[in-house]
Amino acid sequence: MSRTVYVNGDYLPEENATVSIFDRGFLMADGVYEVTSVLGGKLIDFPGHAARLARSLAELEMTNPLTADELLAIHRELVARNGIDEGMVYLQITRGNPGDRDFAFPPADTKPTVVLFTQSKPGLADNPVAKVGIKVISIPDIRWGRRDIKTVQLLYPSMAKMAAKKAHVDDAWFVEDGMVTEGTSNNVYIVKGGKIVTRALSNDILHGITRAAVLRFAREAQMEVEERAFTIDEAKAADEAFFTSASAFVMPVVEIDGAAVGTGTPGPVAARLREIYLDESRKAAV
């Protein structure tokens, strides 16, 4: 059965959904996006995603065409129409269709393009990969300097994912000036002596919504957290490593550049944080 998607105010069968070839998102990657997970038919961390969307749009001087309440209503409608129990809702807003291609921004009254669709992912919360962990490689971080804006320009992360695949591992961690920034689509952490270490927020990394929640839960559970940069060598010598993202929640990392992390199996800190995050997020889901 065809999915129902949302395009500029209309709910449509996916095969009938179209966007102009002059859309700035298509021609210039001039747009932002968010991905919100769905568990039990409810949205996880939605207020955080709505707030980050507004920030990304503001940083790019784009008009936010929808209120948080309108966004929530559209998300819920798509979840209901597509019968999503576990999965994700993808949202993209671009600067719109100016009618022709030009590097200069179009007039301020150009209508943004708004697209949303769902992805059904049964078993999202009980992903068996979380029981065994993933393997990563490190690669140079050559992305632009505003990684805090969640833009749709994802070519280099896609290339990094493919580099990982060619290396027969699961993901890649970016390294800049000798320090780990983040993963291809996630925030990264190490654990040493019971202390959780993760890079501090700046323009260098995405301000992860799951990251914020996990760090809050960690501190509430009396876990020690240090926000600072770390090296790949530190990560290899750590007791544990993991990453967080909206779709993977908390995912253990058991190997970096061929070296086992800790025992080479998921550690207790990551496992506990995943458990806490899923429990608390389900309670707060909308």
Return d(Cα 43, Cα 86) in angstroms, integer: 10
Contacts of 10 (CB under 8 A, 6+ apart): none
Return d(Cα 191, Cα 38) in angstroms, integer: 28
Q: CA 158 from chain center: how many Å?
A: 13
Q: Which residues pair with 48 in a beta bridge?
A: none
Are 17 and 5 contacting, i.e. CB atoms less than 8 angstroms apart? Answer: yes
The H or E element spanning position 7 is strand 4-7
Return d(Cα 51, Cα 209) in angstroms, integer: 10
Tokens of 277: 């995050």
Rounded (10°) CA dihedral 173, 247, 150, 116? 150
Return d(Cα 238, Cα 29) in angstroms, integer: 37
- Active-site residue 150, yes or no? yes
Of the residues 42, 111, 150, 166, only one is catalytic, namely 150
Query: In whole angstroms, how far apart are CA 173 and each of 141, 178, 180, 235, 268?
Result: 8, 12, 7, 11, 22
The H or E element spanning position 21 is none
User: Could you list the active site residues?
Assistant: 150
